[in-house]
Structure formats: C-alpha cells, structure tokens
Chain A
Amino acid sequence: MKILVCVSQTPDTTSKIQFANGNTELDKAGIQFIMNPYDEWYALVRALELKEANAGSTVTLLHVGGAANEPTIRKGLAIGADDAIRVDAEATSSYFVAKQIAANAQGFDVIFFGKETIDYNGSEVPAMVAELLDLPFVSYGSKMTTSGNVATIERDIEGGKETVEVDFPFVLSCAKGMAEQRIPNMQGIMMSKRKPVKVVPAVAADNTASVTSYSLPAAKAGVKMISPDNVEELVKLLHNEAKVL
C-alpha cells in the first residue's frame, strides 16, 4: 500500500503572536515552529500503523515549504515515514497548497491529513485536494479499521459520531482518537538522516484568496473578581453588564 501523509508546519501553541512588515505577515522572530499536531499525532501515526499492518507498504511525507522547514520533515522521518517530498515554495494560501499536493499525490492508495492546522484552523486543504484528485473524502476521522480494500471510519460530527465505509483510494482527515502520539527514538532520528527527501518545484496556482493584512484582537478589559460569598453579584453582572443571561 502506498500511503501519503501531508504535513504542515505551524507556530507552537504557546507562541506570542505579532505581525511585521506593516501588519502584512507574521513576525517570525522568537517563534518556535513545529509540525502541525494533528498531522503528527493522528495522521502520521495512523499511517504508520496502517503500513505496519500491511507488509510491503510505504509512508511518504509531503510538505510545502522552504528549505528552512527541513527539520519538520526530518522529524516525520524520525517518527517512521520512509521518504519525503518537499515542494520548494512558501505555503501562501490553502488553494496554492492544495494544488501542490494534488500535483504530487498521484498513485497513492490513501492520503492522510490532520483535521486542520492550528494556525489558520481552516480545514480547507484536504477537501480541495480530494476535489482536485476526484477522490472520496472522509473528514474528522477518529477511528479507522480496514479489511481488504474497504476502510470503516468513525468521524466526529456535531454532538456525535458517524460511521462510514469507503473503498481505497480516498482522502482522510484525522482528529483526536485516530492514534496515539509517538516520540521519535534515537534509532529513528539516526535513520531519518539517510532517508531520501525529494525537492520539487511548485506548480502554478491562481491567487484565488489571500491575506492582505493582519491585526490583533482588542485586549480584554481584565478579569473582575467576585467574592465566593456573593455569587448574586456575578449573576447581576452576567445579566446587566455582559448581557449573556
């Protein structure tokens, strides 16, 4: 089975967010970049489990980003992917990224994504890739079993779950529950250095939508402390001031 896992790079959750260059880009100073957690913990690990259950399978990573993002790819290889493709371009918009992935995703039996990235939280790319490749798409998967050419997937929906069956090939986005995080071991880290990373140029994509500027949200007024002996005051404030009751 040929398995593709698309991984992106995002600022760590604890990052302080500021903008630079006339508020047109993220200020990268002091930001630690990590592999998007949904891609790493759920998509990549479930892909590796699928490989382990199907002898002769391979797991390929696909990343859109410049050479500076190489550590993210190496981490994925250290966790257990066999090889990687890096599209040598900045990930400027979801449609641009989807076009790059589609151009490099031919011939795979299943294409894994995390359910969204933790920076733009858009969940846009997997659906776009599925459409560009004319493949079925199962989103927000939290559990998957396979039998022959059929995958049975539980997916998260509002306030519940849905169970679906789909034949390979398909596109899958992964949520919590799909797998458990794996920490790369020393052997994995050593081996990752020898695994092949193919660098390919970007294909053209229309600029259908893009960010023109950023701003910071209005600061909160600060917390109002209320005595535990006067919860009536809280109810009053929620009614009169916050107007939520």
Chain B
Amino acid sequence: MSVLVFAESLTGKIKKSALEALSYGYQIAQQQGTTCVALTIGNAEGADTLGQYGADKVLQVSQVAGFDSQVYANIISQVAQQVGATVVVFAHSSSGKSVAGRVAVRLGAGLVSAVTSLLAGNAVNKNVFSGKGIATYSINTRVKVVTVSANTFPPKQVRETNIPAEAANVSVPASKIRVKETSTVEGIVPLPEADLVVSAGRGMKGPENWGIVEELAATLGATTACSRPVADIHWRPHHEHVGQTGVAIKPTLYIAIGISGAIQHLAGVNQSKTIVVINKDPEAPFFKAADYGIVGDLFDVVPKLTAAIKNFKANN
C-alpha cells in the first residue's frame, strides 16, 4: 500500500501546488501508516527536494516533452499500480484537474476534486456552490483519487535530507497533442497559487493609475489581480481577471480596491481567508463579504497603506 502524489511541474520547475499536494499525501500516508511516493513527469528541476516535503520515495519519468492528459494519465496509472497506491493525490490545478478524471476512470477509482479536508475513512469535504456550501462525499472504491484545493494544505518541510529521484519503469505512449508554446509571466507567483493578492477595479478610473496598486502589491509581495470590467476594457491583462468567469482564487489575504463586489466577482474570491475592501461607496456590496473595510478615496488610502506596511516591515 502507498499514497501516490503527482508532483507537477511547469516550465521545468516543481510547482508550489505540487508541494501542497505532497503535504496532503504525506499526512494521509502518516495517518494510514504507509509510504508516500511522489512522481514527477517531464523536466522537473529539484525533484530530489520532494523528500524534504514528505515523499519517502521519488520517481521520475523524464522522457516526456509537453503536457498531454492522456499520456500523463497512462503513466500515473501504471505507477499507481506498481506502488500499490490506494490514494492518488493531485493539485487542483490546470494539469491536475485535466488528468485526475482520466486516472480515476483508468483505475476504477472514485474522484473528489478540490478537497478541503483530509480523507477520514471514505469521507472527504469540498466547497460547493462557489463557497456557499460544503459537501461531504463518500468515496466508495478501494482506490481513491483526490485533487487538493489550493492554499489549503501549506507545504511543510518534514526532513532535512533530499531523497534522490529514481527513474520509474513505465512505458510511455505516443502523444496525440503537440505542445507548440508554453508561456508564463516571469517573476511573479501565478494568481491561483498566490497567498497574497491585491486586486483593483473600475474605481481606479484608468489604467494609467495602476502604479499605486502595483506598489502596494510589491511592498506586500503580493500578486496583482483585477475585476472583470477592467479586463474586458483591456485596462489589465485577461489573466489577471478574478471572479466567476476568470480565475477563482483562495489566497490568505485579498485586498479589493475600487471593486464594488458584484456577486459574480465574489463567487471567485469569497473563499479567501481574509478580505480587505477599500471603496469610496459605503454601500458597496463587497463590504458585506469583507473582514476589514475602509470607506475612503483609494487614491489617498492606498499610498498610505503602502507606507504603513513598509513601516511595519521595517520594524518587524
């Protein structure tokens, strides 16, 4: 028996979401008294360090070029059978979500996605209806597949030493998908993985005013985001749009600046741990979903907040 964690990488690097999935897998393995096996596919720099984050064994299939859910699912299922996995863990990410359903079908396993609790026997929880409800599932199969909700199980270093990655002995099927280009924004934490997010909307009055938002984000080490109208009129890039039709996020801190808080926006951000709303309109619906609110002119409040955080960081 074992717990198998797919430790995903993007453009050659292990993702933070992979360490979160590993944190989950490690805790399940501890609970069940079994070993936790991490698997990387493709170029995954730093695979050896997965041992520090809970893997007892690290397997690697490097002879795969681009992402193809069909190829990945085939490989992961072969490894799951070889290591006798009873739980297969994925991150709830673009690749994890694309592969988990396929692996569940291949293994005849029940799947629950975006879980927010550890497995307790067959039971596991997830948030439903855009965070307005919690569902408890029963996974009724011997082998269980889960994808792990982002920013819910923080990566944890459990030992000091690396575990050298070994090549897994699998057959790699031919891919029917040709990956032409993979481009990611360099130097920032991608929104779905970000712990801290500073987001702004139409209250900014124009794209030329975003400097104060970017400065606040830089001071915090946060990722910038925006509301839908702002992305639709191209004040900000499409990939920054958070909300129901954009990216759904669960950071520990979400600061919303000049965003009224339409229900579709809230649906994508209301699972944030702490929400701060800055808006000049005291009637903005966002205040009802916030933990902390400031009614005021954002062009006045935001620079002051940046200064206060700089001051705090200098003294702590």
Residues of A within 8 A of B (CB): 11, 13-15, 17, 19, 26, 37-38, 41, 94-95, 98, 118-128, 130-132, 135-140, 142, 152, 155-167, 170, 176-177, 206-217, 220-221, 223-228, 231-232, 234-235, 237-239, 242, 244-245
Question: Does any Cβ of A come within 8 Å of B192's Cβ?
Answer: yes
Q: In the complex, which residue of chain B has the Cβ closest to the Cβ of A10?
A: B129
The contact of B114 among A121, A131, A161, A165, by CB within 8 Å, is: A121
Q: Are B73 and A176 in contact (CB under 8 A)?
A: no
Question: Does any Cβ of A come within 8 Å of B139's Cβ?
Answer: yes
Q: Are B138 and A209 in contact (CB under 8 A)?
A: yes
Surface stretch bound by A, among B43-51, B52-60, B161-169, B305-313: B305-313
- Please indicate the chain B residues that have their CB under 8 angstroms from the CB of A94 in the complex: 101, 111
Q: In the complex, which residue of chain A has the Cβ closest to the Cβ of B298?
A: A228
Q: In the complex, which residue of chain B has the Cβ closest to the Cβ of A207?
A: B140
Within 8 A of A (CB), among B125-151: 126-141
6 contacts between A and B (CB under 8 A): A14-B263, A160-B183, A170-B176, A215-B134, A224-B293, A226-B294
Cβ of A162 to closest chain B Cβ, rounded Å: 5
Surface stretch bound by A, among B26-34, B78-86, B203-211, B284-292: B284-292
Question: Does any Cβ of A come within 8 Å of B66's Cβ?
Answer: yes
Cβ of A61 to closest chain B Cβ, rounded Å: 21
- Please indicate the chain A residues that have their CB under 8 angstroms from the CB of B263 in the complex: 13-14
The contact of B133 among A41, A214, A225, by CB within 8 Å, is: A214
Q: In the complex where A131-B101, A165-B178, A221-B291 touch, is A212 in contact with B305 (Cβ < 8 A)?
A: no
Within 8 A of A (CB), among B1-60: 10, 15, 17
Q: Are B133 and A216 in contact (CB under 8 A)?
A: yes
User: Once bound together, how far apart are the Cα atoms of A199 and B128, in whole Å?
Assistant: 29
- Please indicate the chain B residues that have their CB under 8 angstroms from the CB of A244 in the complex: 196, 252-253, 273-274
Question: Does any Cβ of A come within 8 Å of B102's Cβ?
Answer: yes
Q: In the complex, which residue of chain B has the Cβ closest to the Cβ of A242?
A: B274
User: Once bound together, how far apart are the Cα atoms of A165 and B180, in whole Å?
Assistant: 7
- Please indicate the chain B residues that have their CB under 8 angstroms from the CB of A245 in the complex: 220, 253, 309, 312
Q: Are A210 and B274 in contact (CB under 8 A)?
A: no
Question: Does any Cβ of A come within 8 Å of B238's Cβ?
Answer: yes
What mask results when residues 183 to 226 of chain B are scored 1 for a CB within 8 Å of chain A, else 0? 11100111111001000000000000000000000001000000
Cβ of B279 to closest chain A Cβ, rounded Å: 11
Q: In the complex where A130-B70, A165-B177, A214-B134 touch, is A158 in contact with B105 (Cβ < 8 A)?
A: no
**Which of B134, B139, B297 has most A Cβ within 10 Å?**
B134
- Please indicate the chain B residues that have their CB under 8 angstroms from the CB of A208 in the complex: 104, 108-111, 139-141
Q: Are A237 and B292 in contact (CB under 8 A)?
A: yes
User: Once bound together, how far apart are the Cα atoms of A41 and B102, in whole Å?
Assistant: 26
The contact of B111 among A38, A95, A170, by CB within 8 Å, is: A95
User: Once bound together, how far apart are the Cα atoms of A27 and B181, in whole Å?
Assistant: 46
Q: Are B94 and A155 in contact (CB under 8 A)?
A: yes
Q: In the complex where A127-B69, A158-B193, A211-B137 touch, is A13 in contact with B130 (Cβ < 8 A)?
A: yes
The contact of B308 among A122, A214, A235, by CB within 8 Å, is: A235
The contact of A224 among B93, B288, B292, by CB within 8 Å, is: B292
Question: Does any Cβ of A come within 8 Å of B245's Cβ?
Answer: yes
User: Once bound together, how far apart are the Cα atoms of A160 and B192, in whole Å?
Assistant: 11
Q: Are A238 and B181 in contact (CB under 8 A)?
A: no
Q: In the complex, which residue of chain B has the Cβ closest to the Cβ of A17?
A: B132
The contact of B140 among A209, A231, A239, by CB within 8 Å, is: A209
Within 8 A of A (CB), among B231-262: 238-239, 241, 244-246, 248, 252-253
- Please indicate the chain B residues that have their CB under 8 angstroms from the CB of A164 in the complex: 66, 177-180
Q: In the complex, which residue of chain A has the Cβ closest to the Cβ of B300?
A: A228
- Please indicate the chain B residues that have their CB under 8 angstroms from the CB of A118 in the complex: 130, 244, 267
Question: Does any Cβ of A come within 8 Å of B112's Cβ?
Answer: yes
- Please indicate the chain A residues that have their CB under 8 angstroms from the CB of B68 in the complex: 136
User: Once bound together, how far apart are the Cα atoms of A98 and B101, in whole Å?
Assistant: 10
- Please indicate the chain A residues that have their CB under 8 angstroms from the CB of B183 in the complex: 160-162
User: Once bound together, how far apart are the Cα atoms of A102 and B108, in whole Å?
Assistant: 15
